[in-house]
Amino acid sequence: MELNLITTTYADVRSALLERREIALLDVREEHIHAQAHPLFAAQLSLSRLELLAYARLPRRDVAVVTLDDEGAAGGRAERAAQRLLELGYTRVAVFSGGVKAWAAAGGELFSDVNVPSKSFGELVDTTLHTPALAASEVKALLDARADVVVVDVRRFDEYQAMNIPGAISVPGAELVLRVPELAPDPATRVIVNCAGRTRSIIGAQSLVNAGLPNPVAALRNGTIGWILDGLEESLEHGQTRHFPPVTAPTRQLAAQRARAVAERAGVKWVTLDAIGPWQSQSGRTTYFVDVRDPDEYLAGHLPGFCSVPGGQLVQETEMTATVRGARLVLADTDGARAAMTASWLAQMDWEVYVLTPPSAAAWHETGAWQTPLPPLPDVPIIAPATLAQWQQSSEPPLVIDLTTYANYQRAHIPGAWYALRADYHSALARLPRASRYVLTCLSGLLGYYSLKEFAALIADREGVEVYALDGGTNAWQAAGLPLEQETRLASDPIDRYRRPYEGTDHNPQAMQAYLDWEFGLVDQLARDGTHHFRVLQP
């Protein structure tokens, strides 16, 4: 069903941002392309995965949504995404006329890399407050001298395990104000905060300063990138499991008091569980409900309707959760420290943010992982893994198309499967061998369901060809005990994810230095853009 599409311009979007009106500016290109150039508040949400993420990231169906691609061409990704969003029930969808090129032509600032609002805010904090920092060589000297130092790594635990500064303990960002007092109970102990680059180190160290921790605090300047560029790569540790310990009740109470004082100065408000009931209807105002605790705590028990995003990552990747700029956020924890500290930063980034007054233990009754809201599954032909396995032994085996992320595809996939981007079906068909049967899958199988009719329409002129979705996807295939392989077959270029210069263990010094140089330039870009409304709280 074709629906009429409307267009919008740079002046319209800029006006909404300056007036703090709710708007979701969606860059529907793949992440690698998004990272080359995009507007400051363009949140990347690929056309390839739209149905999997739209209802969670755009919870209010009548919010203003603008789709953006390279050029805004007829039939391009922005138009196709807008069409799909309208079919999903969104009522105020527009295509950005002329795409990213038109944004630049109108005088709009373009940013590279990912999570730019958070990273540019971190640089603004550092420029304004001159957050204490030590160079890698200075930290290494302290460690070699066995000085009274505690190093805390504020990244996700999987990032920490890939590589860490010698002796560092994993304390993801929002946990710092709660956990560091017991890791460094002597006020004379120096606390050094590190991440991969700069942002989380700066925000983490400044969190401890803002909260009034009596210890001397410093960020590791330029994080593990700086460590490597200083020639210290061989001293990095790998596969470590050091993790923050439990805290006592007095420490928990003190942390909550410190965090609340900072949050109140930042303009954060508190709200009760009863009061947010009407907000959960998403009527007239977009609201995100986020549990900022450690993921293991969330799995053990959480509040209904709250998704799990640890506070440090929420500050680092805000647009990946709160995609609607100008929306409201409600943050929850069980102690009052982690939510308040996270909220203090979001408020400075010009979000309307509330901390939920921790309800009674009985309220945290849901267990398990967050169930992302999804559109109803379309009625399409499906097959079971056992049937696919039988067909693969026939004289004319089906061609399996795997729509998962390239990282998942590389790890393992169904034997013979080809990797393809769902948004790239048309060009992928030119690389795919012809077959009489096609089977669409991803890890969950959902993308096969959602995209089958689109794929079938592209090959409608081929007589006698059948297309199926794999019920339960590759996960169901593996659960049935069926084999997987790693041989690569590419029908699309693997551009669904941008490789960060600081990721993994194979390091390119030139790319790392270029990344640092880019971060140093973000404050000037913020000034030229002029739409951010960021403010930095004085400690």
Max mean pLDDT range (69-78, 224-233, 441-450): 441-450
In this structure, of 120-124, 226-230, 506-510, the range with the lowest mean pLDDT score is: 506-510
Beta strands in 324-470 (DSSP E): 328-332, 352-356, 382-383, 399-402, 418-419, 437-441, 466-470
Give the sheet arrangement for strand 382-383, strand by strand. Answer: 382-383, 466-470, 437-441, 399-402, 418-419
Query: What is the dihedral angle through the alpha carbons of 345, 347, 352, 357, rounded to the nearest 10 degrees?
Result: 60
CATH superfamily of domain region 382-479 = Rhodanese-like domain (3.40.250.10)
Residues 121-149, mean pLDDT to the nearest whole number: 98
* CA dist 206 → 159, 403, 443 (Å): 21, 41, 40
In this structure, of 97-106, 112-121, 380-389, 498-507, the range with the lowest mean pLDDT score is: 498-507
| Distance separating alpha carbons of residues 277 and 64, to the nearest angstrom | 23
The pLDDT of residue 505 is 58
Domain boundaries, given as residue ranges, for the chain:
6-114, 120-239, 255-363, 382-479
At 478, give phi and psi (nearest 5°).
-65, -40
Count of Cβ atoms closer than 10 Å to residue 392 Cβ: 15
In this structure, of 216-230, 258-272, 494-508, 511-525, the range with the lowest mean pLDDT score is: 494-508
> Are 526 and 532 in contact, with CB atoms under 8 Å apart?
yes
Note whether 120-239 and 382-479 share their fold: yes
The pLDDT of residue 509 is 84
From the candidate CATH numbers 3.40.250.10, 3.40.50.300, 3.40.50.620, 3.40.50.2020, the one assigned to the domain spanning 6-114: 3.40.250.10
Annotation: CATH topology of 120-239: Oxidized Rhodanese; domain 1 (3.40.250)
Distance of CA 522 to the CA centre of its chain: 20
**For residue 254, what are its two tokens?**
């003190």
What is the band of 351 on the pLDDT scale with cuts at 50, 70, 90?
very high
| Distance separating alpha carbons of residues 115 and 125, to the nearest angstrom | 16
What is the band of 4 on the pLDDT scale with cuts at 50, 70, 90?
confident
Average pLDDT of the chain to the nearest whole number: 96
From the candidate CATH numbers 1.10.3720.10, 3.40.250.10, 3.30.1330.10, 3.90.550.10, the one assigned to the domain spanning 255-363: 3.40.250.10
The pLDDT of residue 47 is 98
| Distance separating alpha carbons of residues 45 and 28, to the nearest angstrom | 5
Q: Judging by beta carbons within 10 Å of its beta carbon (0-12, 13-18, 19+), is residue 429 exposed, middle or buried?
A: middle
pLDDT tens for 460-507 read 999 999 999 999 999 999 999 999 999 999 999 999 999 887 765 566
pLDDT tens for 358-375 read 999 999 999 999 999 999
| Distance separating alpha carbons of residues 201 and 173, to the nearest angstrom | 9
> Are 290 and 329 in contact, with CB atoms under 8 Å apart?
yes
SS3 for 184-229 is CCCCCCEEEEECCCCHHHHHHHHHHHHCCCCCCEEEECCHHHHHHH
What is the band of 356 on the pLDDT scale with cuts at 50, 70, 90?
very high
Residues 118-123, mean pLDDT to the nearest whole number: 97
The pLDDT of residue 503 is 66
Q: Which residues contact 434 (CB under 8 A, 6 or more apart)?
A: 462
pLDDT tens for 173-224 read 999 999 999 999 999 999 999 999 999 999 999 999 999 999 999 999 999 9
- Say yes or no to pLDDT of 2 above 60: no
The pLDDT of residue 510 is 85
pLDDT tens for 56-65 read 999 999 999 9
Residues 10-23, mean pLDDT to the nearest whole number: 98
- Say yes or no to pLDDT of 3 above 70: no
- Say yes or no to pLDDT of 512 above 60: yes
